[in-house]
Every structure is written in structure tokens, then in C-alpha cells.
Amino acid sequence: MTATEALLQLTRDGLFCPAGRFWIDPWRPVERAVLTHAHADHARPGSERYLAAAEGELVLRRRLGPEARIEAVPYGAEVDRDGVRVSLHPAGHVLGSAQVRLEHRGQVCVVSGDYKAAADPTCAVFEPVACHHFVTESTFGLPVFRWPETAEVVDELHAWWRGNQEQGKASLLYAYALGKAQRLLASIDPSIGPIWTHGAVENLVEDYRGAGVPLPPTRRVSEAPDGTDWSRALVVAPPSAHATPWMRRFGALSTAFASGWMALRGTRRRRSVDRGFVLSDHADWGALIGAIEQTGAQRVWVTHGYREPLVRWLEEAGLEARAIAARFESEGDDR
Amino acid sequence: MKAFAALYNRLDSTTKTNEKVAAMADYFERARPADAAWALWFLSGGRPKRLIASGRLRQWAAVAAGIPDWLFEECYDAVGDLAETIALLVPAAPQPNEDPLHLWVEERLLGLRALEEDELRERLLAAWAELDRRQLFVWNKLITGALRVGVSKRLAVRALASVARVDAATLTHRLAGNWRPTAAAYEALFSADTSDADLSRPYPFFLAHPLEGEPAALGAHDDWQAEWKWDGIRAQVVRRGGRVFLWSRGEELVTESFPEVAESARLLPDGCVIDGELMAWKDGGPLPFAVLQRRLGRKKPGPKILADAPAALVAYDLLEWRGEDYRSRPLGERRSRLTGLLDSLPATDRVLASPVVAAADWAELEAARLAARERSAEGLMLKRLSSAYGVGRRRGDWWKWKLDPFTLDAVLIYAQRGHGRRASLYTDYTFGVWHEGKLVPIAKAYSGLTDAEIRRVDRFVRRHTTDRFGPVRAVEPELVFEIAFEGIRESKRHKSGIALRFPRMARWRDDKKPKEADTLDAARALLQAPAPARDEGR
């Protein structure tokens, strides 16, 4: 077994650092957990202690509950765990998302969690961290995924909103409640019309504001008085609200979904929304390859997504690459 | 090309028929005739003969994209649509070419035909380099065949009718046969003098509703005419002005595809329109639908297929007689005219009356219905004897009283990703039944589940894969589905020795364990069954 493998192992509860006796994003409750971010497939409740980035403490607490013991550290600060030096570095995925850097006896491992390279006004930008061994996601690990400029997508979104207003239709925009929704809110022009939110989105909007992220004024749909005119409104809701009685109140409306999956016509049509906006909080193919190169790592573990193609690509580029299992695997339509 | 790509995008961003029609109408309003002609041709389902083998196309696209072949195949597998995969992978032109559609089609696309491989490759790579991403997709759709954007000839004609101020039936008539997409031919569609089309115009088809509940609720049985519900293609034969026109329910003119029927129809007197069912028919009886299927899509059937799969029009109704619209007269009167007319014709078995099923009471009719399958019929039609021949689908006077489908409980054994809107989800399934302790594949089915159920099965497939053969995954035999189907026959081409007709998933039997699924013997027993088992406590 080589030195970095000793530093990081895949166990039945997820990635484990034996020297430091802690798990990273464990799949089941453990004694000591280090978390990359607050999405449900990474932050599972029930562990005794958590280490996470200070920037995301509020949103994480909403996921883990008020009782959870969370040690929140600033990006870049080093923590010692039984001789393993642990530090967290921005992953650019959502507020408080972190890459976990482990250093032990001169060997450096980085577990990226989910990440993106594009700028996002609601979280710290991705920081490349040099290492020997890099663990990367691969949600969009195929070259067909190539994100357009965010500004272009936001322009399209504005045009869609204004177009709906002209036709007297409400604009119902589906976005993942943690991260994507706030990124959209921070990117759009609030002078176009009133902005309303679904409760699941608004709770996290409050946490973001609490963490000091400026967001435009929003109002909860559930608090709208009877007879509210929705025809000029933008309503931001989680995808699970689609085709439920909840959306009936808006009358005439146009629906849209903001996700990296909207890059594919098939997923766009299957969602049966009127519009798809290609906006992802994950790295596209080019950004994945770029990020892996920048680390200088010789060993790469690939999880979560199109693992096999990315592994083969890296092997053909001369790296030692391996696909590792992710516990919570799905098509991931909501990302 | 730019305007057509924009139209495609508009069509693709809505599922609403009216919005699709409006998008096409806007396009026709603005497009120049030379371009509109090609747009109409493609939107109506026209496709160039295969220009490039798919394997070549994939290789060259991988080269243009600068990726290895295996990675291209991975991408294709995830996207599920070749035209789209290529459009997402090859570099898009920052300054796209502005040539109009007709130039792209006539000079580039049709020019690809019969080129040597090197030349073909060069032209194709050059074309890709001149298009932006949206145009790339549409161009790839054009060179690979079908547009698949949820429009049909009928919708394209409806859109054009609103622009041309010529009614849809006239346009359909003008577009029938070998219509060439030229500017002149397009402009001729707009002619206000419709006498050319009046002669051929069929009547709108009157359709029946499925009967729910007991027929006795319809009143006295002798107020009703019962006929076999044939499993063919609904059609009208129009005999006017010394000519014969055969229309299918899809509002398509199919006269030339069924020459033997057209020839017999020439024996009918002028000024007469008959509604009936196109069937494969031999020795006084129907052949299975599969035989008729071989005739579909053939513009000019050859002598061999005419002998193997002869067609007939089995007549239900008389809509026009001696030039007079008969539709408001009672069915009883129309029916006796029809039989009188067909009896008086010289001997022909290519236009014949569909027999009336006589019965003393509802119970006898019920018995006849259960025996329908012996006659290759799907059940009975019940039509009120006093009823007019209406328009569209109206409740009350006409009912279809179909047999319940056959069903078997089978186990999911293989899954494959779907195409189009189901690409990247495992939606295409193979089911097995037990035979000597093993599961033998018996049917493939794609439809019948809700989107939520599909997502659940997709997750199951991903987590319970036991083996992979190319795009196909073998899965642990755990999920049981009730498969419904319309017919069953012996087949040497299938491992199980039988083939099912129209199999689909009727229900997810999550109450059943795989061991409780049906056996091949149980399936084979249905080969002899005249009618499906009914009411087994379900």
C-alpha cells in the first residue's frame, strides 16, 4: 500500500483517513466527520462531531439540526487530527463548500467534494490546491457538457421573464433549493419585477443573508395575500414543486428549470418545463480536466457521475486513476 | 438555415400543438418560397435517402471534436441522439454561414450523395465548421433523417393553411403524391381556385368512444347495429369525376399504395364515398395486422408483396351517394344502400361489406365479442341504427366494445437507455417468464409507466446491474410487471418461440415476488386461447 492510500481509504461508510481517524462525507453516522458541503448526499446527520467551513455553518446547521456539534473553521486554517494536518479550501460549489486537504508525512491528499470553476457571487471561488492524490467528482464528466457563459444564461432568463410579463404570465423558475436558487437570485436584475420564493428556498435564502451574502428582496409565496397578481412575478421554487397543486395558484404561467442537465434535449423535454437554462454548480468537462491538471496529482480517484469515461481519459493521459463508489447515486437531475 | 434553425428551436421548446402550428405559420409567413418549400417538405416528414453510414458519421465527428472514438460512443450513449451528440461535441462557428435553407439543402446536402468517401468527409467537416450550435443540430437532423420535433404533415398543413388561406384538405390534395419542394410548386399551393381538390375531398372521419360498463345500459339491443371491430387502417374511398381517391385516417392519400383496392373501387358508380377499414385480406378472411404492416409506407408495391399481402377495403358505411351527402340519414338507411350497392357490383373481393353481427339479445352479442379474436377482430362496434355519421369523436351513438388485452406477469431482466426525451434513463426493458428454472425473454416493452415509476426503475437498474452487453444491462431478477398485449403467435425468430403483439406494461406488480411470475407454458397456453381470460378476481 502506498503512502497516500494509507492516508485515504474507501470503506463501507465512505472515505476514511485512518491516520487521523475521521471520515469525509460519511454515508452513515460516525465519530468524527469532515464535511465538504451541506447537500444531503454529502452531509448526513447523526455523527458525533463535524468539521466544516465556517462560511457554510448556518446552512449546514439547517441540515444537521441545532444539536449537531460542528467545529467551523475558516478557509485555509490548519487543524491537527492525530498528526494529520487538515485544512479546508474553497470549492466554489455552494456557500461554505470546501475541498478537504490532508497532509501527513509529506503526502498530500485533496478531496474536492463537488466543485465548479465558474464565478459565483454567493460563494468563494474554487481554489486549486496542489497535491499527490486528488479525489474528484464527475457529475458532468463527458465532453458534451460545456457550460455557456453565466452572463449569457442570465440574459436569456431576463428575456424569458420579460416575455412572460408581456403575455401576463407568471414566471416559475425551478432551481435546487440550496445553492442554485441563491446564485440565481444574486445574478438576476430585481428591477424587472417582484420576486417570490417557495418556503424551502426562502429558509436557505435567510441563512445566506445571515452569512452576509447580499440577495435581492424576496417574499414567501405562502404569505401572499389572496388576489395577489402573479403576472409580473418571478417565483423561485425547488424542482419537487413541479406539477403539484402548489403551483395552481399562479394562474397563467411559464415554467423553467435551471440545471446543467438542461444541456441535453432529452432531459429538458422529460422535465416537461417550458424552458431549460443551462446553469450548473458543477464543473463541466473542460473544468474537470483543468482542475485535475492544476493539482499536479499523479493519483486521481473519480466519484459521483460519469466515472468510467473520466477514469479512462485520465489513464490515457498517463495518470493513475480509479473509479470509486458513491453511496447516493442517481441520475442527479436536480443539480 | 438560420431561420429554419430558429423555427426548429421554437418547435422544440413547446409541447403545445397550437404553439407549434403558430411557430410554423410565422415561418411560412416570412420565408421565401424556395426555402419554405424545403421547410414544408422536411416538416411533413420528408427525408433524404440515407447519405452517410452512421458509423462513418460518428468517426468523423470524433475527429472534428478531437476526442477518441470510445469517448464519442460514451457521449452518444448518454445523449441518446446522434445529431445532438455531434452538435454538442464539434466546435461551433463563431461567425455562422448565412446561406438560406434551400442553398444548404440543394447544394450541400443533396450534393453529399454519391460522393467518394474522402470527398464526403471533407464536405461534411467543412459544413460543420460553418454552423453555430443550434444550426449544427438541425443540419445533423437533416442529414441523419427524421426531424423528430413533434410535428406531422397534418400540423404543417394546418399551419400553411392559415397562411395560404386555402383549406387544409385542398392543401393535402395538392401535396399528395410525388410533390417536389421547389419555389414554383410551393407557390402553386396558394392558388385560390380549389376545384382541383374538391373532387378528391373526403369527409371527416366519425370516431367511436370505448364502451365502459355493461351494454345493456344502451337500451334495447335491436336499436343497435353490431359489427366486427377490425384491426386495420381506417380509410375512405372517394369515387368522383371518373377518378378514385383512397384516404387513410391520417389524412393521407394512399391510392397508389393500394392499387388492387383502387382498381376494384373503379367499379363503383360516380359520386360515391365509402368509409371502411383497409385490411390484409385473402380467401375471404383477414390476415394478421403484421401482414398489412408490410404494405405501409410503400408507395408502389411490387407484384410479390401484392401477392403475399393482398389488401381490401372492408366497408362500414356509405357517406355519399349519387353526389349527395348522406351523412345525416340514419345508419339503417345508409347500411342498406351500402349492401345493395356492393351486391350489385361485378364480383370483386377487394371492396366488400363488413358483415353485421346478428344476435337475439345482448348475451349473444357478448358471446360474439368474446369470439372476436378467432376472426382477427379486436371486439365489436356498436352503432345506433338511427344515428347520423357525425364529425370527430362524440359520445352516445357509436361505441367500440373491445376485448380486454391478454396479460402475463413477467420479470424485468434487461434494460437499455431510451432515446429522445428518455435518453440517459433506462426506459427500454426486456421481460422474462420462467422456463425450466430460468427466465426466458418474452417481450420488450417501453410504455405504460409514469415518469415517476420510470425514475424508480432507472435507479433500480443502476444499482442492480449484474452484467453489461454494450448498451444493455442485465439486472437482478427482482421486479415483476404485468405485461398487457393484443395478440400472441408462434415465432422462430424469438428465443421463447412466441411473439407478442403491442406489449406494454399494464402495472408494476410490486406485490409479487419474481418466483410468482408466469411460466412459458402459461404463455404458450394463450396461443390456443380464443379470447383472453377475464375476471380472474382482478
Residue A335: its pLDDT value, please? Answer: 39
Q: Which residue of A has its CA nearest to B422?
A: A266
**B397 and A CB contact within 8 Å:** no
Catalytic site residue B229? Answer: yes
pLDDT digits (tens, 9 = 90+) for B333-363: 999 999 999 998 887 779 999 999 999 999 9
Closest CB to B422: pick one of A270, A275, A306: A270
Give the side-chain half-sphere CA count within 13 A for B199. Answer: 12
- Phi/psi of residue B136, nearest 5 degrees: -55, -45
- Report CA torsion sign: A249, A251, A257, A258: negative
Q: Is the pLDDT of residue A328 over 60?
A: no
| pLDDT surpasses 90 at B235 | yes
- How far apart CA B376 and CA B370 sit, in angstroms, is 12
- Would an 8 Å CB–CB cutoff place A266 in contact with chain B? yes
A156 at the B interface (CB within 8 A)? no
| Facing A143 at nearest CB: one of B70, B89, B423 | B89
Q: Which of B79, B458, B463 sits opposite A144 (nearest CB)?
A: B79
Rg (CA), chain B: 26
CATH code given to domain B2-144:
1.10.3260.10
For residue A306, the chain B residues in CB contact (below 8 A) are 74, 78
Q: How does residue B464 score in pLDDT terms, banded at 50, 70 and 90?
A: confident
Between 3.40.50.300, 3.40.630.10, 3.30.565.10, 3.40.50.10890, what CATH number should domain A150-277 receive? 3.40.50.10890
Question: Which of B20, B141, B229, B383 is labelled catalytic?
Answer: B229
Helix (H, G, I), strand (E, B) or coil at B394: coil
The beta strands (E) that lie in B241-271 are given as 243-248, 252-253
In CATH terms, the fold of domain A3-144+281-323 is Metallo-beta-lactamase; Chain A (3.60.15)
Using alpha carbons, select from A162, A160, A164, A208 the residue that is nearest to residue A186. Answer: A208
CB contact under 8 A, A265 and B78: no
Rounded mean pLDDT, B401-411 = 89
Is the pLDDT score of B533 beyond 80? no
Q: Which amino acid is at B225?
A: Q
- Stretch B148-177: mean pLDDT: 85
Q: What are the chain B neighbours of A146 within 8 Å (beta carbons)? A: 88
On the question of pLDDT at B29 being above 80, the answer is yes
Q: What mean pLDDT comes out for the span A103-121?
A: 95
Please give the CATH topology (third level) of the domain spanning B406-528. OB fold (Dihydrolipoamide Acetyltransferase, E2P) (2.40.50)
Q: Which CATH superfamily is domain B206-402 in?
A: DNA ligase/mRNA capping enzyme (3.30.470.30)
Q: How far off is chain A from B9, nearest CA to CA, in Å?
A: 11
All structural domains of chain A with their residue ranges: 3-144+281-323, 150-277
Residue A334 has pLDDT above 80, yes or no: no
Flag whether residue A169 sits within 8 Å of chain B, measured between CB atoms: no
| A to B CB pairs, distance under 8 Å | 70
Enumerate the residues of chain A whose CB falls inside 8 A of the CB of residue B78: 142, 144, 264, 306
d(CA A272, CA A257): 10
Place of cell 431576463: A158
User: What pLDDT score was predicted for residue A234?
Assistant: 98
* Residue A314 CB neighbour total at 10 angstroms: 22
Q: The cell 461567425 sits on which residue?
A: B95
Question: Which residue from A minimizes the CA distance to B11?
Answer: A274
Four-residue CA torsion sign, A307, A309, A313, A315: positive
How close does chain B come to A321, measured CA to CA in Å? 16
pLDDT, residue B169, reads: 76
Domain boundaries, chain B: 2-144, 206-402, 406-528
What residues in B contact A164, CB-CB < 8 Å? Answer: none
Confidence check: pLDDT of A37 > 80: yes
Q: State the pLDDT at residue B358.
A: 92
Q: How far is A115 from chain B (nearest CA, A)?
A: 22
Task: Please tell me the distance from the alpha carbon of residue A34 to that of residue A52, in angstroms, as a whole number.
Answer: 6
Cell of A109: 491528499
**Contact with chain B for residue A267, Cβ under 8 A:** yes
Q: What pLDDT sits at residue B132?
A: 93
Give A16's strand partners: A9, A23
Check pLDDT > 80 for residue B424: no
Report the pLDDT value the prediction gives residue B531, as an integer from 0 to 100.
41
Query: CB–CB of B229/B380 below 8 Å?
Result: yes
Counting residues of chain B whose pLDDT is more than 70, the rounded percentage is: 96
Mutation test of the interface with chain A: which of B75, B450, B456, choosing the one with the most A Cβ atoms within 10 A?
B75
Q: Which of residues 67-96 of A touch B (CB under 8 A)?
A: none
Establish how many alpha carbons lie within 13 A of residue A212's alpha carbon, considering only the half-sphere containing its beta carbon. 7
B462–A267 CB contact, under 8 Å: no
What is the structure's pLDDT at A333?
35
Condensed to tens digits (0 to 9), the pLDDT of residues A237-284 reads 999 998 888 988 999 999 999 999 999 988 887 777 888 999 999 999
Chain A residue numbers with beta carbons less than 8 Å from the beta carbon of B71 are 142-143, 309, 312-313
Q: For chain A, positions 272-331, list CB contacts with chain B under 8 A.
A: 272, 274-275, 306, 308-309, 312-313, 316, 329-331
pLDDT score of B529 more than 60: no
CB A90 within 8 A of CB A76: no
